[in-house]
Structure 1
Amino acid sequence: MTVPAPSALTFQDILNLAARGHTLDAATAEAAFGLIIDGKADDIRIAGLLMALRARGETPDELLGAVRAVRSRMLPVDNAPEGTIDVCGTGGDGHGTLNISTSVAFVLAALGIPVAKHGNRAVSSRSGASDVLEALGVPLSTDAASSLKNAHIAFLAAPAHHPAMRHAANARKTLGVRTLFNLIGPLCNPARVTRQMTGVADPALLDPIITVLHALGSECVWAACGLPHTDVTGPTTGIDEITLAGPTEIRTLEHGRMASFELTPDMAGMKAAPLSAIAGGGPEENAAELEALLRGSHGPYRDTVLLNAACALHVAGAADVLRNGQPDPAALRQAAARAGTVLDNGQALNVLNALRTGAASARTPE
């Protein structure tokens, strides 16, 4: 079948291709998502395309094209410190856990690692990053550049930096399931980070995430998926975090090379725990648990955060937890212990309080 040039295709043309099972090359996917973002497609057709891609399985080229369309239209954050990292899950795993990556961001910032945490309100979960931050009293309009400079952290609310994404909001909310947009978000950080730790809900998505970020010039990336299993309180699916509930499959991009391995909680000296041990609720409930964590509470939530933070320190270039391309248990335990110190001494809580009072966005005197 001969397909016209992307510029000659209407959105309906592209939808027809996808509905017949054809994969889209990167240019055609970029054209399709450009039309969505520019408000030139209606909700029914947007939903149709998203589900056609999901049912078949999104390809790296389709994801690359969509990401290019979004990046070219985003409102960027300039002058982010060198080495700034993002930690973000795609959501859509259906397990409704506490906000792990948001908690990890506070730990990293307290350790002096600049974190540009890209997030949104809940679409396919009960409490997204923006929801829980609002419940914590953290203003989402903070000057990101100043916050990164003064508190080593900025929460980048997606609507503020991707305003045109509103054209897809109704279709996404109505569908209420993981779509390609869940994957796009973590790959379109407005601070243009080149270091990322990204969780996905399906192990089949690990390679596309790494492949796309490699094509876009990322420096160091870990993509993680807690392997699919059945929990008594949740569906059979993967987990978009590094988990205590079993092994986590990891894909890495470091020094231009891709690799893979499995990570288990015992490697970092953590006890296994079911997902039900970190089950979350609405924004207020998750916010209360997050603040208790920052005040030094112990348990599976803390251990999950420390395991993820230890790996994030590696991605940030502030630790080395691999030996010959495989997890080094001694190094993992050391990195996790280092992360735990800022929960115990109040430094992570201080980051939260600085954001609440606006001190993080105050200009440092010259």
Structure 2
Amino acid sequence: MSYSAILKEIARGVHGARDLSIDEADQLYGAMLDGGVPEMELGAILIALRMKGESADELLGFYQALESRLYSLALPAGGVRPVVIPTYNGARHQPNLVALLALLLVKFGIPVLLHGTLESQGRTTTAYILRELGILPCANLGQANLALAGEGIAFVPTAVLSPGLANLLGLRNRLGVRNTAHTLAKMISPFKGESLRLVSVSHPEYLEKMRDFFETTGLRALLLRGTEGEALANPKRRPELLYCDDGKSQLLFEAEVGPLKSLPNLPESIDAATTAAWIQSVLSGQHPIPLPVINQLACCLYGAGYTTDMNQAKAIVAMETSSLVMA
């Protein structure tokens, strides 16, 4: 593979660059994941793709390469699909409540796999909050399988699932900007399709790109504009919640608009210890769950196959979370 020839095509700017075909993208990203691209060319390719933006075919090809190299986990027993939550950002301004959503799902008997980074980069990451809650990162696939089977929840660093992807993610510190790996990390599942992915985006155009990807592949996902990059409905104002499955999209909740009617009771600080203590108080019924999180929880029950009717999912969650607050 000639990397200089590829750069001549993709590094001509937003308007002059040519997109790669699915096969070309598959071969290129496979080489990148395998560590076969020289360092200088690798940096140039990542920056070129960042400037150009990935086409639909390129995303498909990149995903194919990653999927074929992704390590697998055993599908947990129980008859419901596991929920896969990527967590790569953490909190900078708002509390990171990803762990709250995950533990609420576990209360319903739905297995949850969280995957992401252990590096904080000045933010409060989900890994730190989970540690405060007694949930430690899994060092290998065996530990992850045991945690899922026993506790119903596991946090797995990216390198355990895909060392090559972890290496590409790590280049952010050297290049100063994100790269395609940050998009792909949100799309993976080690359960080979038998799961519900929670996929967040930051910009409206990426929501359309992700919807097109999941409609094309037929994979199952809940799409939303995340909270500071995390796949969590903003507890202050619910975003649009879009469910993709079998090549179709379904709007489960519309985005809230207009002035805020009220503010939810949230942690006083965004640090890991304070956030974890607040999550524990919510789970014990001392504080109400923010309504947007309840809405997302209902979507997850529906997408995980806990129930085949969305209205029933809403009713179940409303009843169970009300009893939790009253307990």
Q: What's the TM-score, normalizing by structure 1? A: 0.71
Deviates more, 1:109-118 or 1:247-256: 247-256
The equivalent residue for 2:85 is: 88
The equivalent residue for 2:182 is: 182
Q: Give CA deviations for 1:73-122 in whole Å, capped at 9, x if unaligned.
A: 12211243353232435656986433333321111111111222333334
Paired residue secondary structure (2:240): strand
Alpha carbons 2:267, 2:275 under 8 Å: kept: no
Residues 1:9 and 2:2 are matched in the alignment? yes
Alpha carbons 2:241, 2:296 under 8 Å: kept: no
The equivalent residue for 1:131 is: 128
4+ residue segments displaced more than 6 Å = none
Change (3 A) 1:204 1:65: same
The equivalent residue for 1:152 is: 152
The equivalent residue for 2:59 is: 63
Q: Give CA deviations for 1:157-202 in whole Å, capped at 9, x if unaligned.
A: 2211212334324312334554322221132222334322322222
C-alpha separation between the residues in 1 aligned to 2:7 and 2:105?
Answer: 42
CA RMSD of aligned residues (A): 3.7
Residues 1:76 and 2:72 are matched in the alignment? yes
Q: 1:29 aligns with which of 25, 32, 51?
A: 25
Q: Give CA deviations for 1:52-84 in whole Å, capped at 9, x if unaligned.
A: 333333222222222222221122112433532
The equivalent residue for 2:106 is: 109
Indicate the percent of aligned positions where both proteins have the same amino acid: 23
Task: Map 1:1-366 onto structure 2 (within 5 A).
Answer: 8-10=1-3, 12-20=4-12, 21-42=17-38, 45-81=41-77, 82-88=79-85, 91=88, 96-122=93-119, 126-141=123-138, 143-175=143-175, 177-192=177-192, 193-218=194-219, 220-225=220-225, 240-246=231-237, 248-260=239-251, 263-264=254-255, 273=263, 281-298=270-287, 302-319=290-307, 322=310, 332=314, 334-339=316-321, 341=323
By how many angstroms is 1:331 displaced? 6.0
Change (3 A) 1:305 1:125: farther
Alpha carbons 1:309, 1:336 under 8 Å: kept: no
C-alpha separation between the residues in 1 aligned to 2:268 and 2:177?
Answer: 19
Alpha carbons 1:224, 1:248 under 8 Å: kept: yes
Alpha carbons 1:92, 1:125 under 8 Å: kept: no
Alpha carbons 1:91, 1:240 under 8 Å: kept: no
C-alpha separation between the residues in 1 aligned to 2:122 and 2:91?
Answer: 7
Change (3 A) 1:242 1:333: farther
Q: Give CA deviations for 1:233-270 in whole Å, capped at 9, x if unaligned.
A: xxxx987532244452333223442244652459xxx9
Q: What's the TM-score, normalizing by structure 2? A: 0.78
By how many angstroms is 1:17 displaced? 2.3
Paired residue secondary structure (2:148): helix
Residue ranges of structure 2 left out of the alignment (5+ in a row)? none
Alpha carbons 2:23, 2:61 under 8 Å: kept: yes
Instruction: Give the total of aligned pairs.
Output: 316
Alpha carbons 1:90, 1:201 under 8 Å: kept: no
C-alpha separation between the residues in 2 aligned to 1:125 and 1:28?
Answer: 37
AA of the residue aligned to 1:112: G
Residue ranges of structure 1 left out of the alignment (5+ in a row)? 1-7, 228-236, 323-327, 346-366
Q: Of the two structures, which has the highest relative contact order with CA contacts closer than 8 Å and spacing of 6 or more?
A: 1
